[in-house]
């Protein structure tokens, strides 16, 4: 049985939670400093977040699926399908692919994408986005990290995470969630999320959260699945690589936890999206079957 939406998730708009007051952010800063966090960067108002770049980080080497960006999905490389969907977003001033591999770069240039070459030392997609940002000639206020293994990404979701970050000056990061399916509950490749009443992230985990004392899935609880897309205030992104790795980030292998552990705020929107990322070779056939069903 699929979880029912919680009352806090208002589906009449893309944004599911109201904005929390800036006054509360002052308390968060005080608390973070008391716990010895790094100095917090307080972002500017939403009017300064008008220039937006979408970056699709892509690497060839992968422990689970080597060469994944180039795998054909119904005759087109997966990264091309992701790029074509992302191009439909209306909030992006520019869209680029960031990669450290010439095979991926040549493929992307072949279908017309702008490519930024990055180093192999990038530890994750966020760091690759940051390096790409520094190599762009134009100045941007918001950076959207678009996962290259989401060939069915909805342009409206890209626009949603951008708009909510523009409207939330006390957050430096935004992302999206959707309802978690029962079959994904214990899959460590499907990251779960819990949020507060104002739509700010509390925690992300590869484990099943929240976990009740009965040890069973509660069919009435609105469990949330994290979607890979995320956007950052550009000034925050520049200092992200300087923040030291954190215990929860390392244990879960989730880069967004470093943001939370250092006292920064992540704004979350809930969307209606049937998530279908490609994490393993077995997912390719599932993706192609789904696209045939949708006449894509």
Residues of the chain with pLDDT under 50: 1-46
Closest CA to 144 of 107, 94, 179, 180: 94
pLDDT at 40: 42
pLDDT at 17: 42
Q: How far apart are the first and last CA of the chain?
A: 28
**Residue 87 burial by CB count (10 A; 0-12/13-18/19+): exposed, middle or buried?**
middle
Q: At which residue do the structure tokens 């500017």 appear? A: 44
**Residue 238 burial by CB count (10 A; 0-12/13-18/19+): exposed, middle or buried?**
middle
pLDDT at 18: 36
Closest CA to 84 of 152, 182, 12: 152
Encoded tokens for 158: 């890209």
Backbone angles phi, psi at 106, to 5 degrees: -65, -40
Cis (ω within 30 of 0) for the bond into 210? yes
pLDDT at 63: 65
Assign 3-state DSSP to the chain and report helix, strand, coil percentages, each to 5: 30, 20, 50
Q: What is the pTM of this model?
A: 0.81
């Amino acid at each position: 049985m699929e979880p029912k939406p919680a009352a806090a998730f208002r589906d009449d708009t893309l944004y599911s939670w109201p904005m929390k007051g800036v006054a509360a952010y002052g308390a968060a800063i005080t608390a973070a400093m008391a716990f010895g966090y790094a100095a917090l960067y307080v972002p500017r108002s939403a009017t300064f977040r008008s220039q937006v770049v979408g970056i699709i980080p892509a690497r060839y080497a992968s422990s689970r699926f080597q060469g994944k960006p180039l795998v054909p999905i119904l005759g087109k490389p997966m990264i091309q399908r992701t790029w074509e969907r992302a191009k439909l977003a209306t909030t992006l001033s520019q869209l680029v692919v960031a990669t450290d591999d010439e095979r991926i770069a040549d493929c992307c240039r072949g279908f017309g994408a702008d490519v930024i070459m990055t180093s192999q030392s990038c530890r994750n997609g966020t760091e690759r986005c940051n390096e790409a940002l520094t190599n762009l000639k134009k100045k941007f206020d918001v950076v959207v990290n678009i996962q290259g293994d989401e060939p069915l990404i909805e342009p409206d979701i890209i626009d949603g995470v951008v708009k909510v970050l523009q409207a939330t000056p006390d957050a430096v990061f935004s992302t999206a969630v959707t309802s978690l399916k029962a079959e994904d509950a214990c899959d460590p490749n499907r990251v779960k999320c819990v949020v507060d009443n104002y739509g700010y992230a509390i925690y992300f985990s590869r484990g099943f959260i929240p976990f009740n004392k009965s040890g069973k899935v509660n069919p009435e609880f609105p469990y949330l699945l994290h979607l890979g897309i995320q956007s950052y205030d550009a000034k925050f992104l520049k200092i992200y690589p300087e923040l030291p790795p954190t215990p929860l980030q390392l244990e879960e292998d989730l880069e967004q936890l470093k943001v939370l552990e250092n006292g920064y705020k992540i704004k979350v929107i809930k969307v209606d999206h049937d998530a279908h990322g490609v994490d393993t070779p077995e997912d390719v056939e599932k993706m192609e079957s789904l696209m045939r069903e949708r006449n894509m």
